Structure formats: structure tokens, C-alpha cells
DNA sequence: TTCCGACAGTGGGGTCGCAAT
DNA sequence: ATTGCGACCCCACTATCGGAA
């Protein structure tokens, strides 16, 4: 099949609102492609092709050659071309990548160019990613959806699962299982506003500290250890402390789930930025660990000595973990049905400088790759009343609306802020369609200037903003930025002169927020 | 040669709308 | 009613390349 056909299918999927219909369109397309070409199509459609690190982003897509008049690119050929671009490294790489990219785009029609750009920046916007594509693979191959889902959980790659399903059917999918050394998709947590709400959903529950580090999945086989991130990238060489901790466990083989975090000499967590920088760096790990030591807190055990545990209830997995991992390497935990006791545990986690708690259903199996209701995270919520300084035009379904808000605190003006307002960050979250329409109108009424994406406004509207914490910022004038800011509501009862001041924010930061 | 800007990619993430159940 | 999924974009950071100093 030509890329043309795939691009057309993607466009049809985007235009179709119903999920079953999207799956039907995708399945039909995969059937037409057949087992030879469908895996490549799955890689392109699901965003997996991009994860090869093609090295092409929005900037490289800004000036492109004129499109071809006639479609001629094949699906397989396109995937191969992207892989070739990804393989280019070293001096002259940018020029060579550009040459290859332009060669590819010059052979693509206008619609194909748009499709390829979407693939490369991960913005296909067809309303179908991994999950729906998985369902489409199941339908095209005539196998149960559950079989595909399970294979996907054990094998991050939708491409590989599609190839197996379409050539070997259910039997081939059944061969996918937990393999020590190959990462599975980590189980994710839903969230609740507070401990009480979480316990209403799960009771009694296991509560564990929520550690603000990076997720690690640790595989041990004999003397060998491999460490993977949440996105299944391998970081073994960067985290020797984790490797040593796993190597010392009294097992032949194990797959563990946990969180790695930089702790200070007092045992209190360092800011997330410190952990992130440490684990992202590929410099000499021995020097790094001397400067910023990591600690690992394990909270789950998926496999031990030849036995898969992930279908067991959480309680049993924890018991197995407790029998395998010393207490110092386990996340602090309690089991209770009592709301007061749960609150006390939550407060204790915060008192130790941690992020909050994860409330877990003791009966829940390990639902890899799902944001199931089995785990619920709870974090304290802070709020500020801030002023809207400007807004950016939205994309996709927010096109035509002012979406992303620039948020400012009241300041003396000596902070480099404009007109006495000090910008602390942006947010586009928490806005309903109704609110988007309303704020677009109200903000345009207050417009004082604009550039390509940004409309600056008179600082008159006050929003109540929730956020998780404050972080050091090299970008914003106060040297501080909000973490995970989202809009709760517009304060029509407050004028800008009643907004929170940057001094208040500084005090919060000093308190360790 | 060294420095620095631009870019890509990765870590952490919350909330809404809607289809399906 | 609830759940699952995709879309909407945030901020900080490192690595890399390539051109300026």
C-alpha cells in the first residue's frame, strides 16, 4: 500500500468521532495492508516510529520542499526512511538528516507531508493511539481484544504485537509473557482530591508514601541487573546505586517496581529537579553518585525466581516483596480502613518531605500500562489567586479559543515583571469549553497587543489556580515557577489589586513548597 | 579551541470531553 | 453513573550539533 492510503485512513479516523467506528476504519486499513505492511503502518500510526528518536522536530519541519504531484511512497519504504534518518549521528549529522528528510518529503504529496509531520512531532490528532490501534489490530487479526492488550503490556511495542497477531494469531500472542530483562508497561495511578475520597473508593486500603523521584523497573537475572524508566528506556549505567541494591537481593531472578530519588544527608528528599538531572545525566556515574546519591524505594514485585506474581492480589505481592527486599529499600506502608489513621499516615509522609500517598486496593492485580482504579494517588493541593497577563491561541479542538494563560502575581515592579506583575508560569488545564469561550471573549476585550500566538491583555481578570509546588526557574523573573498549575475558577469577586503577591509566593517557597 | 544557542528528547504531570459500558 | 482514552499543553533538564567568538 502507498503511504497515500494510510494518510487517507488517518484522516478518515480523525473525522470520525465514534470510537468503534475509528477502530473499524483502522482494522479495515490493516487488513488491506496485510501482515507484510501492517506492522510498519502500526508503527507510524501509534507514534512508535517517532520513538526511534528520528531527530526531527518542529524546527526541522518549518521549511520543506514542494510536495509531489503523484503518490508514490510505500508504507514500508517510509518507515525505513525514518529509521535511516534516526541512524545518522556525528559531525555533519544535521545537514545529512535534513538532506534525507527533504528527499523523503519531496516524494510525498501534500496530504502525505501533513501526515508525516504529524507522525514526526507526535501530533497525528486522529483520536486513536495505542489502545485503539491495539483494538484495531485485534479486529483485523480476528483475535480477542484482551489477548492483544495483554501482549501489549508485556511488550511495549505495538508494532511487534501487530506482527505477531497478524501472522500467528491468538497462539502467537499467547507466547508473550513476562520476561526477565524485558520491561513491561508500568501500572499507573488514578488520583483523588484527598485521603477521604480515596478511601471511599478503596477500603480497607494499603497506603504508601508517594515518592517524588523517577519510576524504575528493575530486572535481576543471576548476576545481571537492568533498570528501565517509565517509558521503558534503559538507564542501568546511570543508576549504580539501584543496580547494587538489586544485585544484593537474595534471589536468582526478580522484577521489581519502585522509585529512585535523591535524598539529602538528613534523608529528606531533594527537589525533583535534582533527581531528574542526576538520572538524566550520562556523565561518570561514580562522580555523580558521590555528588548526588540516589536511594531506591521498592513498592512492588512482579516476578521472583521463575514465578510471575503480577496477577496476584497486591497484598500477596507485597508479602513477597517484604520477604525479598530489606525494609530500608521498601516504601513505608500501612494497611487500614480507618480514615483518621489514613490521614495521620498522609501527614507523616508530608512531614518527611514526601509528595503524598498512594492508596492501593489490596486485592488489585498489577494492571500493567493501565491507569486503573487499583491505585489512587493523593497529594495536597495549594492555591493562589493570580492575574491573567496574556493568553495563547489553542490548537486542535481548542483552535479559535484563547487557551494557555500567562499567570502573574502582584509585585513591586522591581522583579523585572512588566507593570508590577511577575509572571510565574502558564496553564491550559482545568478549562471547560464554556470557560474557554468565555475567557476568549473577555480577554480579547482587554487586548493591548499581540504576536503570532500570544494576545497580551490588561491585567484585570483574576483566576484561582491550583498547583503542586514551586520550583526554581531559570526562565521566570522571580526565579520561581508553579508546578502543575491548573485553573479552578475565575474570581469574579476579586479585582487584580486583591491578587496574591510575589512576596507571598516567595514565603511559600521558603517554607519548602 | 572554546563557548553558546537552538533543537530534540526525556523526566515529572492534571483535567476535560466523549464514547462505550 | 462510571470508566477509559486521547487531547490539551506545562516546566526543567541533558545531550548534541554547528556556528560564533
Q: Is the dihedral of CA A500, A501, A502, A506 positive or negative?
A: negative
Percent of chain A with pLDDT over 90: 76
State yes or no: pLDDT of A450 exceeds 50: yes
Half-sphere exposure of A154 (CA within 13 A, CB side): 19
State yes or no: pLDDT of A143 exceeds 70: yes
A204 preceded by a cis bond (ω within 30 of 0): yes
pLDDT given at position A419: 66
Distance A424 CA to B5 C1' (A): 24
pLDDT given at position A367: 83
Which of helix, strand or coil describes residue A490? Answer: strand
A160-183 burial: b if 16+ Cβ within 10 Å, else e: bbbbbbbeeebebbeebebebebb
Percent of chain A with pLDDT over 70: 98
State yes or no: pLDDT of A69 exceeds 80: yes
User: Which nucleotide, over all strands, has the C1' atom closest to the CA of A92?
Assistant: C17
User: Which nucleotide, over all strands, has the C1' atom closest to the CA of A272?
Assistant: B12
pLDDT given at position A50: 87
C-alpha cell of residue A185 = 508497561
pLDDT given at position A416: 43
Distance A308 CA to B12 C1' (A): 29
State yes or no: pLDDT of A114 exceeds 90: yes
SS3 letters across A78-127: HHHHHHHHHCCCCCCHHHHHHHHHHHHHHCCCHHHHHHHHHHHHCCCCCC
Distance A485 CA to C10 C1' (A): 8
Q: Is A50 within 8 Å of A119 (Cβ atoms)?
A: yes
Q: In the structure, what pLDDT confidence band is assigned to residue A200 with cuts at 50, 70 and 90?
A: confident
Average confidence (pLDDT) over A99-122: 94
State yes or no: pLDDT of A303 exceeds 70: yes
Count of C-beta atoms within a 10 Å radius of residue A490:
16
Decide: pTM greater than 0.85: yes
- For residues A112 and A4, give the distance between their C-alpha atoms in angstroms, rounded to a whole number: 6
The residues of A annotated with a catalytic role in the active site are 210
pLDDT given at position A76: 95
How far CA A262 is from CA of A176, A289, A354, in Å, comes to: 35, 9, 12
pLDDT given at position A451: 87
Distance A6 CA to C19 C1' (A): 40
pLDDT given at position A396: 86
Q: Is the CB of A395 under 7 A from strand C?
A: yes
Q: Is the CB of A45 under 7 A from strand C?
A: no
Residues 6+ apart with CB under 8 A from A102: A64, A65
Count of C-beta atoms within a 10 Å radius of residue A93:
13
pLDDT given at position A52: 86
pLDDT given at position A412: 66
Average confidence (pLDDT) over A356-360: 93
Those nucleotides of strand C lying less than 7 Å from any protein Cβ are 3-18
Comparing CA positions, the residue from A58, A182, A139 lying closest to residue A453 is A58
How is A26-54 classified by DSSP, letter by letter?
A: HHHHHHHHHHHHHHHHHHHHHTTGGGGT-
Q: Is the CB of A276 under 7 A from strand C?
A: yes
Q: How many residues does chain A have?
A: 513
Those nucleotides of strand B lying less than 7 Å from any protein Cβ are 6-21
State yes or no: pLDDT of A176 exceeds 50: yes
pLDDT given at position A483: 93
pLDDT in tens, A225-280: 999 998 888 999 999 999 999 999 999 999 999 999 999 999 999 999 999 999 99
State yes or no: pLDDT of A417 exceeds 60: no
Distance A305 CA to B11 C1' (A): 31
Count of C-beta atoms within a 10 Å radius of residue A357:
30
Residue with CA nearest B6 C1'? A59
Residue with CA nearest B20 C1'? A19
Reported as type and span, the H/E element at residue A226 is: strand A224-228
pLDDT given at position A415: 43
Higher pLDDT, A366 or A322: A322
Comparing CA positions, the residue from A158, A27, A6 lying closest to residue A71 is A6
- For residues A451 and A398, give the distance between their C-alpha atoms in angstroms, rounded to a whole number: 18
Q: Is the CB of A17 under 7 A from strand C?
A: no
State yes or no: pLDDT of A418 exceeds 80: no
Comparing CA positions, the residue from A321, A378, A145, A222 lying closest to residue A312 is A321
Comparing CA positions, the residue from A499, A490, A494 lying closest to residue A439 is A490
Q: Is the CB of A484 under 7 A from strand C?
A: yes
C-alpha cell of residue A280 = 538524566
Average pLDDT of the residues of chain A: 92
Which of helix, strand or coil describes residue A17? Answer: coil
How is A249-300 classified by DSSP, letter by letter?
A: SS-SEEEEEEEEEEB-TTSPBPPHHHHHHHHH--S-HHHHHHHS-EEEEEEE
Amino acid at each position: 500500500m502507498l503511504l497515500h492510503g494510510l494518510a487517507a485512513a488517518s484522516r478518515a479516523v480523525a473525522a470520525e468521532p465514534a470510537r468503534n467506528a475509528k477502530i473499524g476504519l483502522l482494522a479495515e486499513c490493516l487488513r488491506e495492508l496485510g501482515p507484510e505492511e501492517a506492522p510498519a503502518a502500526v508503527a507510524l500510526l501509534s507514534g512508535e516510529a517517532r520513538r526511534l528518536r528520528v531527530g526531527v522536530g518542529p524546527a526541522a519541519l518549518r521549511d520543506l520542499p514542494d510536495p509531489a504531484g503523484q503518490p508514490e511512497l510505500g508504507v514500508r519504504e517510509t518507515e525505513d526512511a525514518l529509521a535511516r534518518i534516526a541512524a545518522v549521528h556525528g559531525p555533519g549529522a544535521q545537514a545529512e538528516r535534513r538532506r534525507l528528510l527533504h528527499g523523503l518529503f519531496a516524494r510525498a504529496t501534500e496530504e502525505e507531508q501533513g501526515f508525516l509531520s504529524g507522525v514526526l512531532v507526535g501530533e497525528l490528532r486522529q483520536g486513536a493511539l495505542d489502545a485503539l490501534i491495539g483494538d484495531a489490530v485485534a479486529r483485523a487479526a480476528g483475535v480477542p481484544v484482551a489477548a492483544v492488550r495483554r501482549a501489549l503490556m508485556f511488550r511495549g511495542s505495538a508494532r511487534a504485537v501487530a506482527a505477531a497477531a497478524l501472522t500467528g494469531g491468538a497462539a502467537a500472542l499467547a507466547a508473550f509473557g513476562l520476561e526477565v530483562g524485558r520491561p513491561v508497561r508500568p501500572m499507573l495511578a488514578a488520583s483523588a482530591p484527598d485521603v477521604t475520597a480515596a478511601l471511599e473508593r478503596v477500603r480497607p486500603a494499603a497506603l504508601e508514601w508517594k515518592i517524588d523521584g523517577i519510576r524504575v523497573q528493575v530486572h535481576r537475572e543471576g548476576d545481571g541487573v537492568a533498570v528501565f524508566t517509565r517509558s521503558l528506556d534503559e538507564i542501568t549505567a546511570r543508576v549504580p546505586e539501584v543496580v547494587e541494591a538489586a544485585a544484593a537481593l537474595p534471589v536468582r531472578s526478580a522484577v521489581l517496581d519502585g522509585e529512585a530519588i535523591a535524598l539529602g544527608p538528613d534523608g529528606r528528599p531533594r527537589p525533583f529537579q535534582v533527581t531528574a538531572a542526576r538520572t538524566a545525566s550520562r556523565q561518570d556515574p561514580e562522580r555523580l553518585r558521590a555528588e548526588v546519591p540516589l536511594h531506591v524505594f521498592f513498592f512492588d514485585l512482579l516476578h521472583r525466581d521463575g514465578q510471575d506474581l503480577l496477577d496476584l492480589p497486591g497484598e500477596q505481592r507485597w508479602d513477597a516483596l517484604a520477604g525479598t527486599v530489606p525494609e530500608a529499600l521498601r516504601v513505608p506502608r500501612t494497611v487500614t480502613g480507618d480514615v483518621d489513621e489514613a490521614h495521620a499516615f498522609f501527614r507523616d509522609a508530608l512531614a518527611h518531605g514526601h509528595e503524598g500517598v498512594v492508596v492501593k486496593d489490596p486485592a488489585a492485580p498489577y494492571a500493567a500500562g493501565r491507569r486503573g482504579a487499583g491505585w489512587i494517588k493523593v497529594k495536597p493541593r495549594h492555591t493562589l489567586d493570580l492575574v491573567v497577563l496574556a493568553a495563547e491561541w489553542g490548537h486542535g479542538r481548542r483552535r479559535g479559543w484563547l487557551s494557555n494563560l500567562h499567570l502573574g502575581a502582584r509585585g513591586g515592579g522591581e522583579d523585572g515583571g512588566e507593570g508590577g506583575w511577575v509572571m510565574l508560569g502558564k496553564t491550559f488545564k482545568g478549562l471547560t469549553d464554556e470557560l474557554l469561550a468565555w475567557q476568549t471573549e473577555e480577554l480579547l476585550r482587554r487586548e493591548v497587543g499581540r504576536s503570532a500566538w500570544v494576545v497580551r491583555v490588561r491585567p484585570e481578570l483574576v483566576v484561582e489556580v491550583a498547583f503542586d509546588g514551586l520550583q526554581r526557574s531559570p526562565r521566570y523573573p522571580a526565579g520561581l515557577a508553579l508546578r502543575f498549575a491548573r485553573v479552578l475558577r475565575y474570581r469574579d469577586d476579586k479585582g487584580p489589586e486583591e491578587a496574591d503577591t510575589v512576596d507571598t509566593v516567595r514565603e511559600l517557597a521558603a517554607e519548602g513548597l
